[in-house]
A and B are shown apart, each in its own frame.
Chain A
Amino acid sequence: MNQFAILCVDNNPVSIEQLRNELRSFSSRFDLYATDSIEEANSVLEYCSEKRQSVALVIASHHENFNGADFLIQLDKMTHTQQARKILISCGQDIQAILSAVNDGRLDHCLTKPLQDNLVHKTVQKELTTFILDNDKDHLISYSRTLDQQRLLRAHIDQKMRSYREGFITDHHKLSDRELAQQVTDSLLAFFADKDETRACRRYSPEHLLTEEGAENRFLWFITKGDVALYKKDETGTQREVVRYTQGNIVGGMSFVTGEPSFSTALTLSETEVIKLDREVFAKVMHSNTSLLPLFTNLLLRHFNRRLQRSITTKLELQKTLESLESAQQQLIEREKMAMLGQLVAGVAHELNNPIAAILRGTETLTNKIQTLVQLPDIETGSEAVDVLNNALISKPRSTAFERELVKSAAQKIGDRRIAKKLVKLGLEDNPVWLERVLNQDPNLNAHLGRLADYHVAGTTLRSINVCAQRIADMVKSLKGYARPDDERFRTVDIHEGIEDTLVIFENKLKFHQVDKRYSPLPPIHCLPIALQQVWTNLVSNAIDAFPEKGRLIIETEEKHQDGKGWVVVAFEDNGLGIAEELQEKIFELNFSTKKEGNFGLGIGLSVCQQIIHQHGGHITVNSEVGQFTRMSVWLPLSQSQ
């Protein structure tokens, strides 16, 4: 039993016999049923349905007494006959029946009697071929002897070509890179196994040059064994290894595909076996084996894609590295700030010691004096005591040298050095009333003087405590100025304030040297004051480090016009050892330092200064003469202040 069946229905036995004869040639692939009644035909259909035999073609006759058209129409309503090709043989009179068969039964062909010789056969062959093309695509060739050979073959080829094209890329998805490469090289090796006129399969010793960057290349190498490194020159002309290839990789692919000069230089690293193809040989190989082209195409695509993936990965890594470098630099700057701050704090802590000592001593003195003043029986001093106290509170002490002179001359006048000293302390050395009392040897003199001296000491001590506390406050304020939040905002300030604060911090170190301030009146500057204070700190610190035994620091501020713009220039000039001209550029580099370890900051101060000044749209210049001086000038644009 065949898979498909042909059914003929005609109530004319002669016609049936004719059809049977004419269709015999199809019986090798199609079971032929011929019936002379609609009823019988229906039972054939039932039988086929039971046997799961598809009806490929139904030929029905139609005339006055036999309604073949209706029979065909009903076929289209049943699933197992829906695909069947339908041919109506009409006597040519009942147009209406034919039309309804076409419209309702999707009639495929209509023959009119009288039937020409062989016409039914030809028609059936055409229709069956159509049926088979639709319903048995996988076995087209097997029908080629019975049906329309040409159509079947063409369809078969089309089908094959389509699946070849469709599968060109996707068929190889299952293969790993390695398997794919293996298949290609295996095919190539098989091709050259018999005949290898061009010596395609060859073996290279180490350090054999395959391609040279920038040079023409006609060849494609498949590496079957060994290692090849690819190099590319960077902008300085240094060869840099780009990638290392091994078994299964392709060399020369880029220039082979594009015809451009080689992108990189390829050099064998070890003993290397390759298959070397030029375009001509390549074409020959591809012609010889059609399955090789998609394989090779896939291999090449993957080769380039892997390269692309690698370069994307590299780019991402580079970006990451760049980011981490940036954050490392940020951290370095932060650390420089902290190192600087640490040293500043240590210096200031030392410096705070003096006023703190004075305050501590003062409070003890004061405690004693107050006790004395309160406890001792009152000695009549009148308003003088209050005057002495108030005077001591507000007046700056005279210099010790001047006081000594006064004591000396007073002592000569009155003869008693200790009394003279007390009078001078109290500022009474010229007071006629007191001088009189001294000369008259007033018995209460010493007691009175002593009491006044107590008031005086109380006053000066309070004043001194006040002065010292103020100094501590100043130092704390200037230190606080260094506590810069990361998001310091631009403010409009008098930059002299920041410079003065910085000088307070360095008071200790500058004590041995001369500071010459040449400030000009300047408009307020729009700036990051605390960031700038870091700059001043670095520049002052550098000046101090460069100082000879007797240092002199000139700090000069002025307004200048240059390049059509207004600038504020803050210059720090020391009389130190100077900077050689060839080093002047280098001092701003991050890793340049002439200082020994343990010096101020981390030795990256100037680089940080430059960054801060650039942030302000300004710049810093060096002017120096070895052994004479160094002048660092910070230029800040005035335009920002508006």
Chain B
Amino acid sequence: MSKYLILCVDDEREVLDSVIQDLDCFEEDFLLEAAESVQEAKEIIAEAEQDEAKLALILCDHIMPDQTGISFLIELNEASSTKPTRKLLLTGQAGLEDTVEAVNHSSLDFYIAKPWVGEELRAVVKSQLTEYMIENEPNLMPWASVLNTEKILEALAKHRMDFGE
């Protein structure tokens, strides 16, 4: 089973901690990392690449010093290694203009408004990860028990049929 990274970025420690806490359940099967700034996030991503861990999903705040979340997501979308990464924005304050820009750069897969509900956040992350795996992971079987089982089995069946043809 390949190594996958889930990265959360928020400059506010309390918010960051609660996101990590909410996603605690993914720790079993994913590398779950927290970054307090975009710069730190970039370092983590670079390190993960060295360790041959892929960034499966990033959950990013919008308003942060140095760089906004959306501009960071756009940047990630332009790098080949992080292009497939599922990109989620977790914010209460992205303006319409910024959001539209991110959507148009196909850099935004999901937008979660603050304050969020833990169960919903986990559901979104799970479904995004499922889609990511279906698209990027050749060996889907081990993920069936971890992620959305039904969808993964469906995808596996489809794969088989594709090969069958």
Contacts and interface: CB of A to CB of B under 8 A. Distances in A.
Interface stretch (B58-66, B127-135, B152-160): B58-66
Interface in B1-15: 11-15
Contacts of B63: 508, 511
A383 to B, nearest CB: 25
B116 A361 contact: yes
B76 interface: no
Contacts of B35: 400-401
Interface in A343-375: 350, 353-358, 360-362, 364-365
Contacts of A512: 65-66
Q: Which of A357, A364, A397 has the most CB of B within 10 A?
A: A357
B27 interface: yes
Given A404-B33, A508-B93, A357 B40 contact: no
B115 interface: yes
B14 A401 contact: no
Contacts of A355: 12, 14-15
Interface string A399-437: 111001000000000000010000000000000000000
Contact of A511 (B11, B21, B44, B92): B11
Nearest to A510: B65
Given A353-B93, A365-B22, A358 B12 contact: yes
A360 B33 contact: no
B16 interface: yes
B114 A357 contact: yes
Contacts of A461: 17-18, 21
B92 A401 contact: no
A468 B35 CA distance: 19
B65 A404 contact: no
Contact of A401 (B21, B36, B65): B36
A464 interface: yes
Given A353-B93, A357-B15, A400 B21 contact: no
A353 B91 CA distance: 9
Nearest to A512: B65
A399 B13 CA distance: 9
B144 interface: no
Contacts of B22: 361, 365
Given A350-B93, A365-B18, A357 B44 contact: no
B68 to A, nearest CB: 8
A511 B14 contact: no
A404 B44 contact: yes
A350 B62 CA distance: 12
Interface residues of A, number: 27
A461 B15 CA distance: 10
Interface string B34-46: 1110001001100
Given A364-B118, A365-B22, A457-B21, A353 B36 contact: no
Q: Which of A365, A400, A511 has the most CB of B within 10 A?
A: A400
Q: Which 8 pairs between the two chains have the least Cβ-Cβ distance?
A: A353-B92, A357-B115, A361-B18, A358-B14, A357-B114, A464-B14, A350-B93, A400-B34
A452 to B, nearest CB: 15
Contacts of A357: 15, 18, 92, 114-116
A468 B14 contact: yes
Interface in A465-505: 467-468
A460 interface: yes
Contact of B118 (A361, A399, A401): A361
Contacts of A467: 14
Contacts of B33: 400, 404
A619 to B, nearest CB: 35
A468 B10 CA distance: 15
Interface string A496-531: 000000000000100110000000000000000000
Q: Which of A355, A361, A468 has the most CB of B within 10 A?
A: A361
A400 B40 contact: yes
Given A357-B116, A511-B63, A512-B66, A365 B36 contact: no
A36 B16 CA distance: 145
A353 B114 contact: yes
Interface in B81-108: 92-93
Given A397-B13, A508-B63, A511-B64, 20 more contacts: A354-B114, A355-B12, A355-B14, A356-B114, A357-B114, A357-B115, A357-B116, A358-B14, A361-B21, A361-B22, A362-B14, A365-B22, A400-B35, A400-B36, A401-B36, A418-B27, A461-B21, A464-B14, A467-B14, A512-B65
Given A350-B92, A400-B40, A511 B18 contact: no
Contacts of A350: 92-93
18 contacts: A357-B18, A358-B15, A358-B17, A358-B18, A361-B22, A361-B118, A364-B118, A365-B22, A397-B17, A400-B16, A400-B36, A401-B40, A461-B17, A508-B63, A508-B93, A511-B64, A511-B65, A512-B65
Nearest to B18: A361
Contacts of B43: 401
Contacts of B15: 354-355, 357-358
Nearest to B20: A400
A245 B115 CA distance: 75
Q: Which of B11, B14, B15, B115 has the most CB of A within 10 A?
A: B14
Nearest to B16: A400
A354 B36 CA distance: 14
Contacts of B40: 400-401
Contacts of B65: 511-512
A360 B19 CA distance: 11
Contacts of B115: 353, 356-357, 360-361
Interface in A382-409: 397, 399-401, 404
A354 B22 CA distance: 15
B97 to A, nearest CB: 13
Q: Which of A354, A364, A457, A508 has the most CB of B within 10 A?
A: A354
A356 B64 CA distance: 17
Interface in A61-94: none
Nearest to B27: A418
Q: Which of B18, B43, B63 has the most CB of A within 10 A?
A: B18
A418 B24 CA distance: 12
A360 B14 CA distance: 11
Contact of A464 (B17, B27, B118): B17
B115 to A, nearest CB: 3
Nearest to B118: A364
Contacts of B116: 357, 361
A563 B18 CA distance: 57
A9 to B, nearest CB: 126
A363 to B, nearest CB: 10
